């Protein structure tokens, strides 16, 4: 049985507000360990831990690498006086997908599982926070939504993906059978050393990791990505925005600071759906409206899948520019206005472009696509040429998380075998890996493992 509603001790999280560009959004977290887990993703963990129910703390959500994702207000609930009856945290963050996704990812990094549809409500009922009439509605919702999400999940599994998953699962079942052989038969009947399974364990772990890595590609294809244009005031971001968009959406002006808030537009970037965001220029300003715009731009850039940092070639590199690219080495560096008189040659690592003439646009687009596809440029060109994708990709964070867990467990198993831990201990890790994979492929039962054992090994007196 895959992770489900009845895992009521799991700490879960989900975006609780409707999708869209509201000013504020709420990411809801619940579960017995939710406050502690949320504290681990919070810039002021002790402040959060110390809170009584219905008390809030201000701070930043930080991701697994310790980088700030968003400034938030976290409201703590203490069970049973809460919606679900369990401890919980409502995190109020900035609206828009970049921000909410960032907060949710940071919570996942802290160990939260994404909530299933209706799961908070399910817990509310389970813990007696709701009467039966309402609960029956919830029940129907759970049943209906699960059916829908199952259909959805199935449709996500492309032929290539299900083939790759099936291959990983088959090798895992065979490994589990090799372990079961040593659990179920004595040394005199099944004498081989379990260390002979080490290469298979490592191979399966690597296959899980490789498939998990394809998440970036899969997500970029399925959900689209956010690409932010950043740079100093008047570096020509809006001109570049319009060049990429091929219309006059942004207000282009030679007065610094014209783009006070940020603009965004959807476009097709060589086959990838992309939401391009033009941020306000980065500079010190006293204008409060513009200050707010700059602040939000920085936030957007922080939550973007790729950032194009634009520099005016006629102005050259300024300390602010250097500081930005140093802080975000993954940023794509655009050396703009190369057509203008007095333009300096592009330094190494900078892509020469001209928003005015379109020179260098192809190279810039290729760089952005490369960044979004996680370096899978061969695939990207195949995509652009309309050829079918070469390898399978996963498209959901849930899949990625399950694959990473499977890989981690397989790594633990290999480590235990290497450390000469007994085979029954390492077998626990193999079982954990199978269960994690089962969340994508469907459960593997003990019978499946025994079936593999009996067909692959000659056993029995």
Partner 1 sequence: MDYEVIVVGGGHAGIEAALAAARLGRKTLLITQNPDTIGRLSCNPAVGGLSKGNLVREVDALGGEMGLLIDATTIQYRLLNRSRGPAVQAPRAQADKSAYAAAARLAVERQPGLRVSMDTVTGLVASADGARALGVVTERGRRIGARAVVVASGTFMEGRIFIGEHRAPSGRLGEAAAVGLGAWLRAAGFPVGRMKTGTPARVKASSVDLGALEIQPGDEERRPFSFMNDEMPGPELPCRITYTNERTHAIIRANIARSPLYSGDIVGKGPRYCPSIEDKVVKFPDRDRHQIFVEPEGLYTDELYLNGLSSSMPEDVQEAFIRTMAGFEEAYVVRPGYAVEYDYVDPVDLYASLESKRMRGLFMAGQTNGTSGYEEAAAQGIVAGVNAALSVAGEPPLVLSRADAYIGVLIDDIVTLGAKEPYRMFTSRAERRLALRHDTADRRLTPIAMRVGLASKEREERFRRKVEGMDAVRELLRARRVSQADAARDAAFAPHVGEDLARALADPRIAELDVEAIEPGATAFPREWVEGVVLDLRYEGYVAKEERLSARLGKLDAARLPPDFDYAAVPGLSAESLEKLSAARPLSLGQASRIPGVRPSDVALLAVRLAAGARGGRP
Residue 154 contacts partner 1 per CB under 8 A: no
If binding is defined by CB under 8 A, does position 246 make contact with partner 1?
no
Evaluated on CA atoms 328, 334, 337, 342, the torsion sign reads positive
Instruction: Tell which residue, 225, 265, 204, has the closest CA to residue 98.
Output: 225
Shortest reach from residue 224's CB to partner 1, in Å? 30
Q: Which is nearer to partner 1, 100 or 452 (CB)?
A: 452
CA-atom Rg of the chain in angstroms: 26
Minimum Å gap between C-beta 422 and partner 1 is: 2
Binding marks (x or -) toward partner 1, 391..420, rule CB under 8 A?
Answer: ----------------------------xx
- The one-character DSSP state at 140 is H
| Residue 380, helix vs strand vs coil | helix
Length of the chain: 461
Q: Residue 188: phi, psi to the nearest 5?
A: -70, -20
Looking at beta carbons only, is 246 or 461 nearer to partner 1? 461
Distances (CA, A) of 174 to 179, 189, 390, 454, 455: 9, 18, 26, 11, 10
The first and second tokens of residue 93, run together, are 């963050």
Contact region with partner 1 (CB under 8 A), list: 89-97, 126-134, 228-236, 328-336 = 126-134
**Binding of residue 125 to partner 1 (CB under 8 A):** yes
Residue 368: CB minimum distance to partner 1, A: 41
Residue 126 makes contact with partner 1 by CB under 8 A:
yes
In the complex, minimum distance from the CB of residue 366 to partner 1, in angstroms, rounded to a whole number: 45
Q: Which of 50, 81, 166, 183 binds partner 1 (CB under 8 A)?
A: 183
For partner 1, which is the closer residue by CB, 9 or 326?
Answer: 9
Residue with tokens 């379990």: 194
What are the backbone dihedrals phi and psi of residue 129, each rounded to the nearest 5 degrees, phi first? -90, 5
Check binding of 421 to partner 1 (CB under 8 A): yes
Q: Supply φ then ψ for residue 389, to 5 degrees.
A: -60, 145
Q: Which residues pair with 310 in a beta bridge?
A: 231, 334
| The one among 2, 21, 195, 251 contacting partner 1 by CB under 8 A | 2
Measured over the CA atoms of residue 394, residue 395, residue 399 and residue 404, the dihedral's sign is positive
Between CA 85 and CA 128 the distance in angstroms is 8
Considering the complex, what minimum distance in angstroms separates the CB of residue 326 from partner 1?
40
DSSP secondary structure, 22-60, as one string:
-SEEEEEEESTTHHHHHHHTBSSHHHHHTPPTTEEEEEE
**132 sits near partner 1 (criterion: CB under 8 A):** yes
Site for partner 1 in 8-27 (CB under 8 A): 9
Is residue 173 involved in binding partner 1 (CB under 8 A)? no
| Torsion, Cα of 29, 394, 225, 231 (10° steps) | 90
Interface with partner 1: number of residues (CB under 8 A): 56
Nearer to partner 1, 50 or 147 (CB): 147
- Quick one: 48 or 449, whose CB is closer to partner 1? 449
Tell me how far CA of residue 218 lies from CA of 300, 347, 370, 379, 401, in angstroms: 22, 33, 13, 11, 14
Q: How far is the CB of 350 from partner 1 (least distance, A)?
A: 50
Distance separating alpha carbons of residues 383 and 272, to the nearest angstrom = 9
Task: Report 424-453 residues binding partner 1 (CB under 8 A).
Answer: 424-425, 427-429, 431-432, 435, 446-447, 449-450, 453
* Position 339 contacts partner 1 (CB under 8 A): no
What residues contact residue 31 under an 8 Å CB cut-off, 6+ apart? 9, 10, 11, 12, 37, 86, 87, 88, 112
Task: Please identify, among the stretches 184-192, 218-226, 250-258, 335-343, the one whose residues bind partner 1 according to the rule CB under 8 A.
Answer: 184-192
For partner 1, the binding residue among 147, 322, 323, 362 (CB under 8 A) is 147
- Write out the residues near partner 1 by the rule CB under 8 A: 1-2, 4-7, 9, 122, 125-126, 128, 131-132, 135-136, 138-140, 142-144, 146-147, 179-180, 182-189, 419-425, 427-429, 431-432, 435, 446-447, 449-450, 453-454, 458-461
């Amino acid at each position: 049985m895959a992770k489900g509603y009845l895992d009521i001790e799991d700490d879960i999280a989900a975006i609780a507000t409707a999708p869209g560009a509201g000013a504020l959004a709420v990411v809801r977290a619940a579960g017995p360990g939710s406050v502690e887990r949320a504290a681990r993703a919070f810039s002021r963990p002790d402040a959060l831990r110390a809170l009584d129910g219905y008390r809030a703390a201000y701070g930043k959500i930080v991701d697994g690498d310790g980088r700030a994702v968003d400034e938030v207000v976290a409201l703590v609930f203490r069970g049973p006086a809460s919606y679900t009856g369990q401890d919980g945290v409502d995190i109020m963050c900035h609206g828009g997908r970049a921000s909410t996704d960032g907060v949710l990812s940071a919570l996942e990094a802290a160990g939260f599982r994404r909530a299933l549809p209706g799961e908070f409500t399910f817990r509310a009922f389970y813990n007696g926070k709701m009467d039966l009439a309402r609960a029956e509605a919830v029940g129907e919702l759970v049943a209906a939504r699960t059916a829908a999400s199952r259909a959805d999940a199935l449709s996500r599994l492309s032929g290539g993906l299900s083939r790759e998953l099936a291959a990983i699962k088959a090798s895992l079942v065979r490994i589990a059978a090799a372990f079961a052989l040593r659990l179920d038969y004595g040394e005199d009947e099944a004498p081989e050393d379990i260390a002979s399974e080490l290469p298979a364990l490592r191979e399966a772990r690597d296959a899980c990791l490789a498939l998990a890595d394809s998440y970036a590609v899969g997500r970029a294809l399925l959900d689209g990505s956010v690409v932010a244009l950043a740079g100093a005031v008047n570096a020509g971001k809006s001109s570049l925005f319009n060049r990429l968009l091929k219309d006059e959406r942004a207000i282009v002006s030679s007065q610094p600071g014209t783009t006070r808030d940020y603009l965004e537009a959807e476009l097709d970037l060589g086959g990838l759906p992309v939401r391009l965001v033009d941020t306000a220029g980065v500079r010190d300003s006293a204008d409060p409206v513009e200050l707010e715009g700059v602040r939000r731009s920085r936030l957007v850039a922080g939550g973007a899948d790729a950032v194009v940092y634009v520099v005016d070639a006629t102005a050259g590199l300024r300390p602010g520019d250097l500081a930005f690219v140093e802080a975000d080495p993954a940023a794509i560096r655009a050396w703009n206005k190369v057509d203008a008189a007095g333009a300096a040659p592009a330094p190494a690592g900078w892509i020469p472009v001209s928003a005015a003439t379109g020179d260098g646009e192809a190279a810039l687009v290729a760089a952005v696509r490369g960044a979004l596809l996680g370096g899978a440029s061969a695939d990207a060109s195949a995509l652009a040429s309309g050829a079918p994708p070469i390898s399978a990709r996963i498209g959901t964070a849930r899949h990625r998380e399950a694959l990473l867990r499977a890989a981690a467990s397989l790594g633990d198993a290999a480590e235990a075998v290497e450390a000469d831990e007994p085979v029954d201990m390492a077998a626990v890790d193999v079982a954990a890996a199978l269960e994690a994979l089962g969340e994508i492929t469907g459960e593997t039962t003990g019978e499946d493992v025994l079936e593999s054992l009996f067909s692959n090994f000659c056993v029995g007196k």
